[in-house]
Amino acid sequence: MSTVPFRSMKDASPVRVQVDWRRVRRFAARTALLAAAAPVAAAGVVMGLERVRRHQYPLDSPFPTAPPSSTDVDDTQATVYTFGADLYAAMLDAIRGARHQVFLETYIWKDDEVGREFKQALVEAADRGVEVFVVYDGFANLVIPRSFYDMPPGVHVLRFPAMRPGLLMLDVRRSGRDHRKILVVDDEVSFVGGYNIGTLYATKWRDTHLRLVGPSTWELRNAFVDMWNRWRSPHQPLLQDVGSQLWMPRLRAARNAPSELVFPIRGIYLDAIDRACSHIYITQAYFIPDEDIQAALLAAAARGVDVRVLVPERSNHVVADWLARGHYDTLLRGGVRIFLYQGAMIHAKTATIDAQWSTVGTANIDRLSLTGNYEINLEVVDEGLAAQLESAFRMDESNSRELTRDEWLRRHPLTKVAERVMAPLRPFL
């Protein structure tokens, strides 16, 4: 207990007011606890409501797809896949035809029909003498029995640690997940994009992946080798790091590496958005832009660029949906058009700008992807690939509805309150 001197205006005699600092500290602690608990509690409520809603209205409606389409970028053939069944067939064909090496890295690998087919193909490749290396994220696959990832000695498996020591301390260097999806076969053919491995993704999710055939496969090979050598155990083999004869290619990989605090994917987005003169088409599963990316999009719209962002109306992560909505008013007011994908989950991470610049990869436009996880995006400057991705965007637009600002302003008052209460969770996603 302490006292604070006070001098009366009437008689100027000193008066001491007692302050119970223990009570003040308890009040401050409870207030802080309430402030921290409120967004978590709100998130729990919306997750519960979404669980009921998803049971009644599952995300399983049919959606438009397109057959694989190819174009040449310099000496490399690039093929766009927008349907999981087509992609998996091509990936399995590549593994089954492997003669020397197979590198597979994935975030989620389900123990289901598709997942077991991939496992069998890898084991058969090893049985015929192919060197097989696999990386998968331990945390993303906690619900999968560890025994599923048991492989014969010819398949080298690296389980990216499920629990990272920096997670509780928010240490970026030691808390990021391996969110990448890469397949490289014989240094000749490679794949990258948003697709994980599982039966659900084969036909029920709309996603985008890219296959490379030719010298630019080095971009993905090099990414896998660096990741393997960085995280392998001492008893696991060291992969050879080879150089590339391609300098200043129009197709390059941008790789986020939290352990080195390297995050170039955010940079390529900002640079490309700043250059835009005609149009920007962005497709994202989870769209929670930081201040700089949001400002760049608003600046582009202000100078007359047609800026369109296409996201799922309902995704598989309802909390991410609610946090994304906190940006809608500012974006709509600034002239950015928002399209909501209907009836199914769209998981693609793509963008194309001015019919020249494109990116396809694993990174969402949110904090986790741009400044947290291990990610990889291809940056491609090519009119042919841009045309293909614009065609895919228009296809997805046909299964979307545009959100207008008038509609957004008419949303329920409780919705507005929930958005504000949950806003403090944005730095975690």
DSSP for 99-115 reads SSEEEEEES-B-SSHHH
Q: Which contacts qualify for 7-15: CB closer than 8 Å, 24 or more apart?
A: none
Structure tokens at 413: 């008052």
pLDDT band of residue 24 (cuts 50, 70, 90) is: low
> How far apart, in whole angstroms, are the C-alpha atoms of residue 319 and residue 325?
10
Measured CA distances, 274 to 267, 270, 337 (Å): 11, 6, 17
The whole-number pLDDT of residue 167 equals 60
Residue 178 DSSP SS3: strand
413-422 vs 318-325: helix crossing angle, rounded to 10: 100
- 272-301 confidence digits (pLDDT tens): 999 999 999 999 999 999 999 999 999 999
Spatial separation of the C-alpha atoms in residues 245 and 66, rounded to whole Å: 34
Measured distance CA(351)–CA(272) in Å, rounded: 10
- Structural domains of the chain, with CATH: 69-250 (3.30.870.10), 259-428 (3.30.870.10)
Average pLDDT over the chain, rounded to an integer? 89
Q: What is the pLDDT of residues 199-254, one digit of tens each?
A: 999 999 999 999 999 999 999 999 999 999 999 999 999 999 988 988 889 999 99
377-412: pLDDT as tens digits = 999 999 999 999 999 999 999 999 999 999 999 887
Q: Which residues pair with 183 in a beta bridge?
A: 104, 191
Beta strand 101-106 with 205-206 is unpaired
Average pLDDT of 122-126? Answer: 98
Q: How far apart are CA 136 and CA 134, in angstroms?
A: 7
Instruction: Decide the pairing of beta strands 182-185 and 101-106.
Output: antiparallel
pLDDT of residue 54: 65
Q: What is the DSSP letter of 312?
A: E
Report the pLDDT value the prediction gives residue 284, as an integer from 0 to 100.
98
Compute the distance between CA of residue 321 and CA of residue 338 in angstroms, rounded to an integer: 13
Under 8 Å between Cβ of 214 and 176: no
Instruction: Output the six-digit token pair for 253.
Output: 């990989």
> How, if at all, do strands 76-81 and 69-73 pair?
antiparallel
Q: How far is CA 82 from CA 13, 183, 345, 396, in A?
A: 82, 17, 13, 10
> How far is 318 from 45, CA to CA, in rounded Å?
11
Q: What is the pLDDT of residues 42-99, one digit of tens each?
A: 556 656 755 676 666 678 899 999 999 999 999 999 999 999 999 999 999 999 999 9
| pLDDT at 41 (0 to 100) | 66
d(CA 428, CA 177): 13
Q: For residue 425, what pLDDT is reported?
A: 65
Q: Are 340 and 312 in contact (CB under 8 A)?
A: yes
Q: Where does residue 61 fall: left (phi above 0), alpha (psi -120 to 50 degrees), or beta otherwise?
A: beta
The C-alpha atoms of residue 15 and residue 7 are separated, in whole angstroms, by 6
CB atoms within 10 A of CB 267: 13
Question: Among 324, 279, 331, 329, which residue's Cα sits nearest to residue 306?
Answer: 279
Helix (H) or strand (E) holding 362: none
326 pLDDT tier (thresholds 50, 70, 90): confident
Q: Please give the structure tokens belonging to residue 316.
A: 């598989």
Considering just the CA atoms, what is the radius of gyration of the chain in Å? 25
pLDDT tens-digit readout, 354-381 = 999 999 999 999 998 999 999 999 999 9
Q: Which neighbouring-strand residues pair with 149?
A: none
- For residue 358, give both structure tokens: 């494109």
Give the residue ranges of DSSP H helices in 76-196. Answer: 84-96, 113-127
Q: How does pLDDT run across 136-156, given as a tens digit for each residue?
A: 999 999 999 999 999 999 999
Whether the Cβ atoms of residue 213 and residue 245 lie closer than 8 Å to each other: no
Burial class (CB in 10 A: 0-12, 13-18, 19+), 186: middle
Question: What whole-number distance in Å separates Cα of residue 190 and Cα of residue 219?
Answer: 9
Say if strands 306-312 and 375-381 run parallel, antiparallel, or are unpaired: unpaired
In the chain, pLDDT over 70 holds for what percent of residues?
Answer: 83
